[in-house]
Chain A
Amino acid sequence: MTSATPPAAPADNGPLLRVRDLAVSFDNRDGPRIQAVDGVHMTVHHRQTLAVVGESGCGKSVTAMSALQLIPRPPGRYDRGRMEFASKRGPVDLVALPEARMREIRGNEIAMIFQEPMTSLNPVYTVGDQIMEAVLLHQEVSDRDAFEIALQAMKDVGIPEAERRIKGYPHQFSGGMRQRVMIAMALACHPRLLLADEPTTALDVTIQAQILELLRDLRETRDMGMMLITHDLGVVAENADVVCVMYAGRVVEYANVLELFGAPLHPYTRGLLNSIPKLGERRERLLTIREIVENEAEFKRLPGAQGGIRPWWPWHDPPADLTPHEGPAGDYHLLEVRPEHWVGVWRTRAIEGHEGRLPDLSYRKPLSEPATGAAAG
């Protein structure tokens, strides 16, 4: 059993979570199977925030939920791939873990907070009970100690009058306070990895900033890795160390935050960044994502394009010189186009031979350094 004390600061001897070629699909009663995630790669290191960005339905939440096996099966199914996690008891593959072992990891080593603080708490139990439930599950403590731990967790996330409010029911809390409760619940057992699935989408802007700041502080003090799922590039610029852009179930670009905002390589990423207004810049109008991804020239700006390397894009017919691998997702490859900067490309003849390593960045943005300003809004 684990103890309540936080683990010692680790030597950075490898990633906390390494996702390799993950594929998840869902049965659809009336139509073809929905391939929500199809060959996703990413890594998360200690004290690092990996931001996963993409539009609705691109598979980012499914990736995060897969890490805790929260995908209902059926209709869901893990088609292939690995999610290697450095647990306290040695490395494990999260998608292959038996349920009993998975339960030890859930909430204990990997915790998750969700988008909807309004409905994510059980309305019939006090918030204290719900935080204590996690503590009692994973730590061998008495009820009294669990209560103290829950109380401390609520104080840590900045809930005022925690002694009184711990006996309150969720409906007595505001949205921001409920999200703090969710975070307190997630952090009560000192997890090594926090999955935050759009934690601020449902909150208003001032509360958003508070919650994100809280998460940032906690990440530093608790020595956690964090996967931050969002579609808000402003949030990414402020909080992320490494960014993973997803589209249609695949990673289209993967780089550290400064690199990605400074020199986006995939037309889709450029489209995303272009559609954000920037402070202090005068433009007639903003380009839409569509205007960029439907412009052929954009697809030829990739380094190596002259050599026949083409950004992968599901709405294009594959290039003529495609040399697909056997098996699914064989037409696609996540290529290290520049050092430590990966772009999803078609597996054409041009990339044969220099397929290189898969994304793995231990980069951490210096704390004091401000965001690039590329997307301040």
Chain B
Amino acid sequence: MGEPEVKVVRSSIGGGPRGTGEPRSVTGVQLAQGIGVQPARGFWADAWAQVVRRNTARFALAWLTLVAALAVLSPLIANGHPILLRELDADGSVVAVTSPMLRNLSAGDVLLVVGGLAGIGFFVMARRLSRADRLGVVLVSSVAVGLTLALTALVFSILRGHGDEGVRGWLRWGRVVLGSGLELSAGRLLIAGAIAAVCAGLAWLFLPLRRGRVAVVVPLAIVAALVASTWWVKPLQTFEYGEAVAAGRASAVYTLIPFSPSQRDVRGDLLAPGGHAGQSRRGPGREIVAGAPRHLLGTDSLGQDVLSQLLHACRLSISIGLVSTGIAVMIGTTVGATMGYFGGLIDLFLYRVVEVFMSVPVLFLLIVAAAVLPRNTYVMMAIIGCVTWTGAARFTRAEFMKLRNQDFVQSARAMGLPLRSILFRHMLPNGVTPVLVDASFAIAAAILAEATLSYLGLGPEEQPSWGRLLSDATNSVGDFVWWLAIFPGLAIFLSVLSYNLLGEALRDAIDPKLKKARV
């Protein structure tokens, strides 16, 4: 018998101990040497893969995508102004073609569409960055712009209500009136510019970019300051197309839902779903106007179309959730990082501030603030953000206290890196995980808070809101309007549920305690 050959195979083999190919099973020793271990995908990519594997998370993403799309496109879907209006003369030939819909788009509508497209464009184009980084850039930028708008609106409204005439005058200093009701003033621009600079500074700290931060931040700040400082005097909205159309003087092409949220059906208050425009729910007007469009989900007590309001309120829901949570996260992580990193007296003092905010329920502070400050979307965002930041601060503080004494932070300090770099490049990515997981729940809570405040009559006045529709469902007389209870409530519920489900999935994917192998 010849000497059998001993072939030494190095531990780099990919196959199993017996034979080759993908191993059916591996031993603990092999596992320790990296065999049978799935290739690493990166922390967030791995977490994301685990999130989208869940059916509940997929449902949540689908719903939120739908709401976001509707938020951007709602004026193009539900609008009382026709897309095309052809004015006809007596013999039916076309005199003029106009688009009242385009003419009546507000600055916000345009900004949202353009900003949304820019965000998507950046996400698709900037291939050099990882997906998580691109998402981070888009989120941080939009939150920074939102923060600028929110804080500016808050400051302006406080100044406008100030007792001293001189202080009120700051807002009108150096006023220029542009055409079409657009008004700009140097005083506003200065204030908005200062706020934009602060927000840009915050965004600069949080942007997940190595280079080119300035190139992102500066234009954003300029645009945000300009938009925030303009004063848009809205033209009085009239929807007097129906008469001309009925008289044969014009023909109109409408959007899918031919009602604007603020368009009132004079006789048609509390029309049940399916009721026709121009119909009255009682009295002599019960007959149906020929050819009148239907209110698919009925109308509210002012005769405004429910479906149109639901669609337009998507904007409030999405933006309030994102911006107010963004504000809370930015304030919270900054304060929390300061507390956790420096400790000592700074920590002692700042933590007392946190305790003050925690000493009463958040909703109570929200109610007080919303009641005494102006009813305005941006103010509402600022309020929710400024009241709910303590959670993020506590999470970040705890993480930073743990991280502060770890070797990589010590070595970064030993290498003489600047404080900003230590705090935000080395510590924040390691300490921010619990904050981000919590952010999803915080968005849900913010939406709940907005709905509750709107229900209590403390919500933004100029915008349709799910919560306000809901508050119309019951009244002091004891009537109950089911379509005003079911549809807006369902919309709030699904949005809140989606963020909560996403948060659950993310937490399960990330929380090391739940991932611990039970061998």
Residues of chain A touching chain B, judged by Cβ–Cβ distance below 8 Å, are 25-26, 28, 30-36, 38, 55-59, 62, 72, 75-76, 247-249, 294, 296, 299-300, 306-308, 310, 314-321, 331, 348, 350
Q: Which 6 A-B pairs have the closest CB atoms?
A: A57-B28, A314-B17, A35-B25, A33-B25, A248-B27, A248-B29
User: Is A30 a contact of B28 with CB atoms below 8 Å?
Assistant: no
Nearest-Cβ distance from residue A81 to partner chain B, whole angstroms: 16
Partner of A57, one of B13, B32, B37, B38: B32
Chain B, residues 15-42, CB within 8 Å of chain A (1/0): the string is: 0011000111111111110001110000
> Which residues from B are CB-within-8-Å of A249?
27-29
Given contacts A249-B28, A310-B6, 5 further A-B contacts (CB under 8 A): A72-B519, A296-B6, A314-B27, A315-B11, A317-B7
B236 within 8 A of A: no
> Which residues from A are CB-within-8-Å of B32?
55-57
A56's closest neighbor in chain B, by CB? B32
Partner of B8, one of A34, A294, A348, A350: A294
B247 within 8 A of A: no
User: Is B17 a contact of A315 with CB atoms below 8 Å?
Assistant: yes
User: Is B28 a contact of A36 with CB atoms below 8 Å?
Assistant: yes
- Roughly how many angstroms separate A38 CA and B13 CA in the complex, as a whole number? 20
Nearest-Cβ distance from residue A321 to partner chain B, whole angstroms: 6
Residues of chain B touching chain A, judged by Cβ–Cβ distance below 8 Å, are 1, 3-11, 13, 17-18, 22-32, 36-38, 518-519
- Interface residues of B: mostly helix, strand, loop or mixed? loop
Nearest-Cβ distance from residue B515 to partner chain A, whole angstroms: 10
Nearest-Cβ distance from residue B289 to partner chain A, whole angstroms: 63
Q: What are 17 inter-chain pairs, A to B, with CB distance below 8 A?
A: A31-B26, A31-B36, A32-B26, A36-B28, A56-B32, A57-B32, A75-B518, A248-B29, A248-B30, A294-B8, A296-B6, A308-B4, A314-B30, A316-B9, A320-B5, A321-B1, A321-B4
- Roughly how many angstroms separate A29 CA and B466 CA in the complex, as a whole number? 42
User: Is A307 a contact of B10 with CB atoms below 8 Å?
Assistant: no
> Which residues from B are CB-within-8-Å of A321?
1, 4
Nearest-Cβ distance from residue B27 to partner chain A, whole angstroms: 4
- Roughly how many angstroms separate A306 CA and B13 CA in the complex, as a whole number? 28
Task: Tell which of B38, B518, B519 has the most Cβ of chain A within 10 Å.
Answer: B519
User: Is B28 a contact of A34 with CB atoms below 8 Å?
Assistant: yes
- Roughly how many angstroms separate A249 CA and B7 CA in the complex, as a whole number? 22
A330's closest neighbor in chain B, by CB? B18
Partner of A59, one of B10, B17, B27: B27
User: Is B10 a contact of A35 with CB atoms below 8 Å?
Assistant: no
Nearest-Cβ distance from residue B178 to partner chain A, whole angstroms: 60
User: Is B27 a contact of A33 with CB atoms below 8 Å?
Assistant: no
Partner of A55, one of B29, B31, B36: B29
Partner of A319, one of B4, B11, B29, B30: B4
User: Is B519 a contact of A76 with CB atoms below 8 Å?
Assistant: yes
User: Is A318 a contact of B18 with CB atoms below 8 Å?
Assistant: yes
User: Is B7 a contact of A316 with CB atoms below 8 Å?
Assistant: yes
User: Is A35 a contact of B26 with CB atoms below 8 Å?
Assistant: yes
User: Is A72 a contact of B27 with CB atoms below 8 Å?
Assistant: no
Given contacts A30-B38, A31-B38, A307-B1, contact A248 B9 (CB under 8 A): no
A246's closest neighbor in chain B, by CB? B29
Nearest-Cβ distance from residue A190 to partner chain B, whole angstroms: 31
Given contacts A296-B8, A318-B18, contact A32 B519 (CB under 8 A): no
Nearest-Cβ distance from residue A91 to partner chain B, whole angstroms: 29
User: Is B25 a contact of A34 with CB atoms below 8 Å?
Assistant: yes
> Which residues from B are CB-within-8-Å of A28?
36
> Which residues from B are CB-within-8-Å of A350?
1
User: Is A26 a contact of B519 with CB atoms below 8 Å?
Assistant: yes
Partner of A58, one of B1, B22, B29, B519: B29
- Roughly how many angstroms separate A315 CA and B10 CA in the complex, as a whole number? 7
User: Is A72 a contact of B28 with CB atoms below 8 Å?
Assistant: no
Task: Tell which of A30, A31, A38, A72 has the most Cβ of chain B within 10 Å.
Answer: A31
- Roughly how many angstroms separate A315 CA and B9 CA in the complex, as a whole number? 6
- Roughly how many angstroms separate A28 CA and B36 CA in the complex, as a whole number? 10
> Which residues from A are CB-within-8-Å of B4?
308, 310, 319-321, 348
Nearest-Cβ distance from residue B214 to partner chain A, whole angstroms: 42
Nearest-Cβ distance from residue B321 to partner chain A, whole angstroms: 33
